[in-house]
Chain A
Amino acid sequence: MSQFELHASSTPSRIPSPLEVIDFKSLISEVQDYAIVLLDLNGNITSWNKGAEIIKGYKAEEIIGRNFRVFYCHEDRADGLPERLLATAMENGRAIHEGWRARKDGTRFWGDITVTAVHNEQGDVIGYLKMTRDLTERKKAEDNYSNFLEDLRQKNDELRESEERYHKMVSEVSDYVVISLDKSGKVLDWNKGAEQVKGYKAKEIVGKNFRLFYTKEDKERKLPEALLKEASEKGSISHEGWRIKKDGTRYWGNVVITALHNEQGEILGFSKVTRDLTERKVAEDKLSNFADELLFSNQELKKSEERYHRMVSEVKDYAILMLDKHGIIQNWNAGAEFIKGYTAREAVGRSFEMFYTAEDQKNKVPGKLLEEASRAGRVSNEGWRVRKDGSKFWASVVITALHGSNSDIIGFSKVTRDLTERKNAEDQGKADAVELERKNRSLERLNSEISSFAYIASHDLKEPLRKIQTFASRVPEVVNTPEAVMELLHKISGSAFRMQRLMEDLLAYSQIAANVSNFEKVDLNVVITEVQKDLELTIADKDAQFKIDHLPTINGITFQLEQLFLNLISNALKFSKPDVPPIITITSSTLRGKEIPLGLSNDMTKYYKITVADNGIGFPEEQSQKIFEVFQKLHDQRAFSGSGVGLAIVKRIMENHGGLVTGEGKPGVGATFTMFFSA
């Protein structure tokens, strides 16, 4: 919106003479810088000069006769500005106004207008002279200037604020040392940061050279001077290094020195911003040391890892594998190939289950081992494993769980050793031990039998001897009665005979104990036939009958087996019931070791079971163990002749043959002796 002021002249102008007016008129018409227009009382245009044409765009013939209102813009006309200007000029002689006006082409110009009332000689107003100057350029310049000033003021304010901020900042900043130096490096001002970092108060340091902050070495090599020189040349310089505080301690300074110039480009001094980066420096140094150490230990690790890899891959005695957590083989070493027979290409990527026997796989042994290793950290196990070629080896295995950084199980290491030879040696050792134990037991038995011999010597042999002595002692009592003497002599002779038979049996028994050799194939059918021949008379006398299965041929000692059956069959004949012909039944069958009731063997070894049964007087069941002991009397001596050694001999012979004999009896029904021979 254009503004306007109304300037009223205090005195009306003097009217010039008509001549003067004409001359003046031609002058006016040539004037180009001013639009000079005459208006009648109503404001209609009566004359038009060149300047009016230039400024407003209308030619004289176009505009004369029209009202001057056309020069005003719509708002001003609506406002009645043209009429007011004429009224003011009529009243005060003159009206002055500045404002936007319209050209013929519609563009606007800033017009500076003076409307002067023209009077006749009577002093009546007869028209108006209107002079307009186009001040658009000036107006624009004025407006620009005004804007410029405004900008300036604003910038000034900003600058002032920013300066204040800066000052405040600089003085408050304690993290940064912000100081000014003169050309020679003398300290000009000092902030809180400077005080805090360097330890000097402003009054202690202002005026001193900044060389003070440098170490002795840096001063000697003229570092402060060099920095200023470089800042002068390049405008600014940054530098990091150790600096000295007031108390002599050092700090790691990060320094930026900037040269300050005057308008002529001459150096006035320097600003110096220093930051204490000691902590960073220490941390950096630590980091650097740490990095060095890390690098070193990393190299060491690498070396050790290489050594480890080389070691693992070259180890031949152990299969060293890595398994993932599902048991899939991840790597393979020479030992693994050597022990298990697979190459790395054949094994890696497959499950370690393949090393286990079908039975172990069925029993989920591999999975159980991994579970145990997961639970307990490691598991060790020994057992038969399968090589690529299907052969078995005795493995000693240690599986160790491997944990990731978050302690999850990421896999397993598995170290396997082939201990087949040791296992075989152990098994042999166990077998040896079993054999040894057997021998030991045999020796113990022998020992107890030797004790028995001592007892026999002192008892059973003594008994007939005592009788001989006792009967002999009674001879003097009856010396006058020859029949009585004869009877005592008969008893003495009987005792001597018993003693002799006892000694012979004992000798036979002791010979069995001593003679464990000469095993050969023995046909038991032949043995029985020989025994029957030996007992021919008794068999006939007792009218005994035999029922005999076909018997096997076994590994044994012929003489001992003959003795064995001789004793059993003669017992069967001897302990027969009076007046009942003995029936002796001999059976044969085969069975497995573990089927033998008394635990001779737990294995599947084949055994022959031979029984010898009779229909004699039998014996009480509780005596079934005792009957095999030496000199155990089951029956009255006189009723059944015998030394008490027969069944002991049977038992001994069975032991010599690695077998077993048991006896079952029922009084009045008979006795059955069962023998187990290994086939």
Chain B
Amino acid sequence: MVVLYADDDLDDRELFADALNEINSGIKLILAANGREVIDRLENPRELPDFIFLDINMPVMSGKECLKALRKVDRLKSVPIIMYTTTSNKEEFKNLLLLGAADCIVKGISFKAIKDSLRSILNDEATK
């Protein structure tokens, strides 16, 4: 399983990586600092992650812009994109779902909460 995660916050990238490793050490994690890096990475046709996690507030290209760009790429149509953010905003979440996000989740306050939410996403999506 390959997971691609984009976030400009180094702490969050580290926490995400630790959490994913504790869930399943066999999962390959590709990290990016902003949306632009994600797009550049996926221009390589051999890169086909099973999940894409995008922080929303990033420099250069935000998560939302990146989501819009990715949903236009045919070969990535079946890849779930999960918006991963600090703040819950129901209106914005609705827009993101309409733009093609598979889910929107709020970054957990505790490390356990982070692990639980990631596990739940990976399992749900994997059993679909």
Give chain A's interface residues, CB within 8 Å of chain B.
455, 458-459, 462-463, 466-467, 469-471, 473-474, 477, 491, 495, 620, 633-638
Contact = CB atoms under 8 A, between A and B. Distances in A.
A637 B114 contact: no
19 contacts: A458-B87, A463-B9, A466-B109, A467-B11, A469-B110, A470-B15, A470-B108, A470-B109, A470-B111, A470-B114, A473-B110, A477-B111, A491-B11, A495-B11, A633-B57, A634-B59, A636-B59, A637-B9, A638-B10
B16 to A, nearest CB: 11
Contacts of B10: 638
B107 A466 contact: yes
Contacts of A633: 8, 57-59
Contacts of A469: 109-110
A463 B15 contact: no
Interface of B: 8-11, 15, 33-34, 57-60, 86-87, 107-112, 114
A633 to B, nearest CB: 4
A470 B110 contact: yes
B109 A473 contact: yes
Contacts of B114: 470
A473 B108 CA distance: 11
A620 B59 CA distance: 11
A463 B57 CA distance: 11
Contacts of A635: 59
Contacts of A473: 109-112
Contacts of B108: 470
B57 A459 contact: yes
B95 to A, nearest CB: 15
A458 B56 CA distance: 14
A637 B8 contact: yes
Nearest to B18: A474
A666 to B, nearest CB: 15
A241 B9 CA distance: 126
B85 to A, nearest CB: 9
The 3 closest A-B pairs by CB, nearest first: A473-B110, A633-B59, A459-B87
Contacts of A474: 111
A634 B34 CA distance: 10
A482 B6 CA distance: 31
A462 B87 contact: yes
B60 to A, nearest CB: 7
Contacts of B110: 469-470, 473
A462 B108 CA distance: 12
A469 B57 CA distance: 20
B120 to A, nearest CB: 18
Contacts of A462: 86-87
A394 to B, nearest CB: 52
Given A470-B110, A636-B59, 16 more contacts: A463-B9, A463-B86, A466-B86, A467-B11, A469-B110, A470-B11, A470-B111, A471-B11, A474-B111, A477-B111, A495-B11, A633-B8, A633-B58, A635-B59, A637-B8, A638-B10
Given A634-B60, A637-B9, A459 B86 contact: yes
Contacts of B59: 633-636
Contacts of A467: 11
Nearest to A472: B110
Contacts of B109: 466, 469-470, 473
Contacts of A459: 57, 86-87
Contacts of B58: 633
B7 to A, nearest CB: 10
Contacts of A463: 9, 86
Contacts of A470: 11, 15, 108-111, 114
Contacts of B87: 455, 458-459, 462
Contacts of A620: 60
Most buried by B among A470, A633, A636, A637: A470
B112 A636 contact: no
A637 B108 CA distance: 21
A458 B89 CA distance: 10
Contacts of B112: 473
A590 B108 CA distance: 55
Nearest to A667: B60
A608 B33 CA distance: 41
B90 to A, nearest CB: 12
B117 to A, nearest CB: 13
A469 B108 CA distance: 10
B127 to A, nearest CB: 28
Nearest to B59: A633
A463 B109 CA distance: 10
A581 B59 CA distance: 25
B33 A636 contact: yes
A633 B34 CA distance: 11
A636 B60 CA distance: 9
B74 to A, nearest CB: 26
Nearest to B36: A620
A470 B109 CA distance: 5
A468 to B, nearest CB: 10
Nearest to B57: A633
A38 B26 CA distance: 208
Contacts of A471: 11
B92 to A, nearest CB: 10
Nearest to A634: B59
Nearest to A631: B57
Contacts of B60: 620, 634
A469 B111 CA distance: 9
